Amino acid sequence: MATIRDLRDRIDSVGSIQKITRAMEMVATTKLRRFQGKTVAAQPFSKRLNDLVGGLSGTLAIDSSAAGSAAALFSPGNPDAPIGVLFVGSDRGLCGAYNSNIQRKLDAELAELDGEYVLYVVGKKAIAHATRMNYPVAAYFDEFDLEKMTSADASALASVLVNDFRDGKVSSMHLCSTLFVSAARYVQNFEQFLPISMVSNDDSVVANDAILEPTGPELLGELIPRYLENRFFQAFLEAITSEYASRRFAMKGATDAASDMKKDITRLYNRARQAKITQEISEIVSGAAAL
């Protein structure tokens, strides 16, 4: 049975842990608000850009040269090359089930792929999982920091993936990351982004009915690289926002659990202390009666 001193030490220990988790919760809450503001503000632009590219690319079914210098990004890649997958995880733990959920999503999707594949990895937890599972890794972007990421960083990473697809090193390129829906909901997503789909998501944007200035090939040749850079940047924004949403929830749960544990131990401490006081009084009374 734990002594009063042991219980007092446990109360102090749990209290110290509670202070740490509460501080981490506050930090996660602050960063979540910052990244959530950026993510939500960027979503309408990203959606409209995706619809625009989808609509303009509809004409490629008739004329493949309409994409100009970006035509190769709409065409099937090298059929003999492996499938490329960009796997986005976090650099740190203590974020609840964020990493385990995206890892399970990756495992399930890779099991269903037909043919060989290679991973392009972002995040220390992601590369640790890839190494543990013996997945083939084509590149690990160890210097890429999601928290400090800029649009230029996303553009540089996008260039690596696009060039590998153009050079025939991969037959297609997929993205496995976490989409941010709200502070209480974030979902794991696995989708193909190369080659670019020619199906429009917005019927209001139809290339055949649009007057393009400059010409279609010239416009798409300049627009597609910007579109891919924005798509990567938005995906990374949603991933880091989801990570901090998960971390905030995890730290709040840890703080609440520490509070409950502290109450339980304090209750045991009070009972043990009361029992000791009662025992001492009984001993004093017994001693006085013996005299």
* DSSP letter for each residue of 96-150: TTHHHHHHHHHHHHHHH-SS-EEEEEESHHHHHHHHHTT--EEEE-TT--STT--
Q: What's the confidence (pLDDT) of residue 83?
A: 92
Domain covering 22-250: architecture: 3-Layer(aba) Sandwich (3.40)
Q: What's the confidence (pLDDT) of residue 58?
A: 62
Residue 244: CB atoms within 10 A of its CB come to 25
- Specify the residue for token string 């890839």: 130
Q: What's the confidence (pLDDT) of residue 202?
A: 46
pTM summary value: 0.81
Q: What angle do CA 199, 202, 204 make, to 5 degrees?
A: 125
Q: What angle do CA 145, 150, 155 make, to 5 degrees?
A: 100
Q: What's the confidence (pLDDT) of residue 217?
A: 61
Domain ranges of the chain: 22-250
Per-residue pLDDT of the chain (291 residues; tens, 9 = 90+): 578 788 888 888 888 998 999 999 999 999 999 998 988 888 888 888 887 777 766 655 555 555 566 677 777 888 889 999 999 999 888 888 899 999 999 999 999 988 899 999 999 999 999 999 999 999 999 888 888 888 888 888 988 998 999 888 999 999 999 998 888 888 999 999 888 876 544 444 444 455 555 555 666 667 788 888 888 899 999 999 999 999 999 999 999 998 898 888 888 888 888 877 787 777 777 776 666
DSSP-derived pairing of the beta strands 173-182 and 185-194: antiparallel
Q: What's the confidence (pLDDT) of residue 135?
A: 93
For residue 125 the two structure tokens come to: 């937890």
Q: How far is CA 182 from the centre of its chain?
A: 13
Distance of alpha carbon 75 from alpha carbon 65, whole angstroms: 11
Q: Mind listing the pLDDT tens digit for each residue in 115-139?
A: 899 999 999 999 999 999 999 999 9
